[in-house]
Chain A
Amino acid sequence: MKVPTTLRISAAAIVGSLALTGCISGGADDGGDDDDTIDIGISLPLTGDFSEPGKGVERGYEAWAAYVNENGGLLGKQVELTILDDQSNADRVASDYEKLINQDGVDLVFGPFSTRLVIPAAQVAQDYGFLFVEPAGAAPEVFEQGFDNLFYAAPAVADDHYDHLADYIEQMPAGQRPETAAVASMDDPFAMGTAYGLRDRLEEMGVRLVVDEVYPPNTTDFSSIAAKIANSDADIVIGGTQYQDAVNLIIALQQLDYQPKMAAFSTAPTNPEFPEAIGEQTEGILSPTGYTPEAPFPANQEFVEFYTEMHGNPPGEDEANAWSTGEVVAAAVEAVGCADPDPECQQELIDWLHENEVDTVVGPLSWDETGKPQGAHLIQQYVDGEIRIVLPEDQAEADIVPVKPEW
């Protein structure tokens, strides 16, 4: 009994130290970069809380790289992506970019997913002088941090997502306009940004706010929030939601038989799984979106075709934003004529983007000095069982349904 115990312990200790040395040697061997390719480093949440959208962004990046390589590459060189998993963790995302820039010696970096991860990642990129174009970090806070290397490759920041809907409500005759509003938002910079953008506009035009709730991410029991909203019987319900929380909230509202005149939820309704999860009762639900496969921009048709061929289904918003991130960086690289980690080259890229407009699959993009894009989102609505663009009118695919049918 005596010997085995000791042996077991020392064996474990040896295994531990082996793992240690294995890690050192494993960490040091890569990092060689040859000049025939342009290496692009990306950290994405492939596991953990943000893994679903993270994987969407990954598909978008990979499709973009494949497309670029099929069409002659960037500056005549092939593009190679190095994608690390940050486990949806802020400490990890910073360490990932540190690794990509210093150890893997990448030439360019693309941004990660989610506001929570964008800020620490952008800090690292800035410290090393890298251009940082990101596909998903729409919360206003991202642009208040004083990053001069950051650009958001989508049409609008979170606050402006509902602008078209707010304009539409403002135009309504006084009698038809909603009088009361109920807001419930996830405690997440992006989700709150979208909901509060609309909330503040509505309050400005005299709509009374009767419920204003915030729930922690990962809340699963929405019955109490739903009870409050149902009790207030607000005319319009606004959900600052991501995906599953919207489904849960809507089901909880249905359980309480609450029937609003308008219902607007961010993100979730644009998800193809949404109608399946809610069932028949999607009719009339509104949602802002930065992207639709039907968008008329010339680059978009090619994108949709290429992506559909690759994956068998049309791209979503995350994929499109990733793709447009690639387009934005590529435009700068082609214009400036360099793509290497040298701070001077990176600075030229940054300066170029501040001064120019780039055509992308989500439309032409330009930025103010904080990296904020200057645009608004389209408003979609479920009309006759399908999600259609209803606002702004010049891009509408269907007429808006002003009073939501019962769900």
Chain B
Amino acid sequence: MPSASDTVRAPRAGLATALKAVGLLALVVAVVTFPMLAANPFILSVGVVIMSYAVLATSWNFVGGFTGYMSLGHASYSGLGGYATGLLVIHTGINPWLALLAGGLLVAVVAVPVGIASLRVRGASFVIVSIALVLIMLLVFQSWSELTGGSNGLRVPRPFGPDVLRPEQHERFFYIHAGLLAVALLLWWVIDRSRFGIGLKAIREDEDKAQALGVPTFSYKLVAFVISAFFTALGGGLYALWFGFLDPIFQFSILVGAYMVLMSLLGGIRSLFGPLLGAVIVGYALEFFKAEYGDTQFHLVALGLLLGIVVLFMPDGIIPALTGLVKRFTPQASSIREVTQAELAEQRRLGQAGEEPPGGPGDTARNVAEGARS
């Protein structure tokens, strides 16, 4: 069921598709060859961490990007996913990969009541709940030491035997993370083109209008939220299997959640590859700051300033900014239908100053209506 905007866009699709295919191929090649190019296991382990960030940021973007609801507490779900996976492996002895999946599903179930509580009201309470959830999880996992190991931490058995040396472990986990990332990206792409996705975006642009047009806003938001929690939990679980040690302080940390937000925002929450790009940049930047300003608290200041700058000056991220730049050299769009989300965003920013900008929320809403009719 192709949506109206797709058919209109078709004539120019040929070149764009080819370009996209080349870009995608280059990305795949870069990811596949990275472990071979990495100079030593340390670089490889940094690669695994960045991949893990990319998975988490992309997962975050299911709710942050589509609906515009910014969760600062997604560390709850990655931490829960990690603990669920670890505890299942330890106590039931099932296959670690099965435990990972089961852990993800479990967290998805937990996310339902949380989503109901936090999504019923708009905006503020969602963020408050997301932060509160991290703090509550930290308390619970520290105190419930019979189950979680408390502050002693929890050692998670490795899925590969001792004969698989550490560098080899890094390589395998790099590819597994990449696989999970690919699945998450594919699902994001599918949702992006579905009626469900259009509904979600309508919520982001103007929740009232979306509701008035018959978008079941609450259940849409909830579904996106649960999907996001599920993938975040998988990311957390995978990290737990790789790292092999869980400590509540570091699992349920506000900072982890803040990194997810920063990565997604920086890369561009409306773009498929935005969070991935953000993860690569922030991941490298973190290593950079640690190497340069190692023994000071400067990394926190840097994180804070960077987040502040992104929020104030480029809330749409790098990718839309770059595509905007490229588009300026191509022929101007002749019809409103050809305006992409990113361009819409650009127009909205330029037309800021109070008045309703042209091609604003109303258009997305119109798309929804058409999507519903087709």
Contacts and interface: CB of A to CB of B under 8 A. Distances in A.
Interface stretch (B69-77, B88-96, B289-297): B289-297
B42 A127 contact: no
A127 B45 CA distance: 14
Interface string B318-352: 10011011001000000000000000000001100
B40 interface: yes
Contact of A187 (B40, B143, B266): B143
Given A8-B313, A95-B45, A120 B280 contact: no
Contact of A127 (B150, B166, B313, B322): B166
A123 B244 contact: yes
A46 interface: yes
Interface stretch (B23-31, B108-116, B245-253): B245-253
Interface stretch (B151-159, B214-222, B223-231): B151-159
B318 A9 contact: yes
Given A19-B288, A87-B299, A95-B49, A141 B152 contact: yes
A311 interface: no
A103 B142 contact: no
A189 B152 contact: yes
B281 A20 contact: yes
B102 interface: no
Contact of A13 (B155, B165, B288, B318): B318
A32 interface: no
Contact of A19 (B150, B165, B285, B350): B285
Interface in A1-57: 1-2, 5-6, 8-10, 12-13, 16-17, 19-20, 22-24, 26-28, 31, 46-48
B346 to A, nearest CB: 8
A250 to B, nearest CB: 22
Interface residues of B, number: 50
Given A5-B350, A47-B296, A99-B42, A23 B243 contact: no
A102 B40 contact: yes
Nearest to B255: A89
B188 to A, nearest CB: 22
Interface of A, secondary structure class, is helix
Contact of B284 (A19, A103, A115, A145): A19
A84 interface: yes
A394 B247 CA distance: 42
Given A5-B349, A6-B321, A28-B39, A23 B250 contact: no
Contacts of B42: 95, 98-99, 101-103
Given A1-B350, A8-B313, A91-B250, A27 B243 contact: no
Contacts of A28: 39, 43
B243 A6 contact: no
A304 to B, nearest CB: 27
A31 B280 CA distance: 24
A226 interface: no
A29 to B, nearest CB: 11
Contacts of B243: 91, 94, 120
A16 B281 contact: yes
Contact of A98 (B41, B143, B244): B41
Given A19-B288, A103-B42, A120 B245 contact: yes
A301 to B, nearest CB: 32
A189 B151 contact: yes
Interface string A84-112: 11010111101100110111000000000
9 closest A-B pairs by CB: A9-B321, A23-B288, A127-B166, A102-B42, A46-B295, A85-B295, A102-B40, A103-B42, A85-B294
Interface of A: 1-2, 5-6, 8-10, 12-13, 16-17, 19-20, 22-24, 26-28, 31, 46-48, 84-85, 87, 89-92, 94-95, 98-99, 101-103, 115-116, 119-120, 123-124, 127-128, 139, 141, 145, 187-189, 214, 216-217
23 contacts: A5-B350, A6-B324, A9-B322, A9-B324, A12-B309, A12-B313, A16-B281, A17-B281, A19-B281, A20-B281, A23-B284, A31-B40, A46-B295, A90-B245, A94-B243, A98-B42, A102-B41, A116-B153, A119-B153, A120-B245, A124-B166, A187-B143, A189-B152
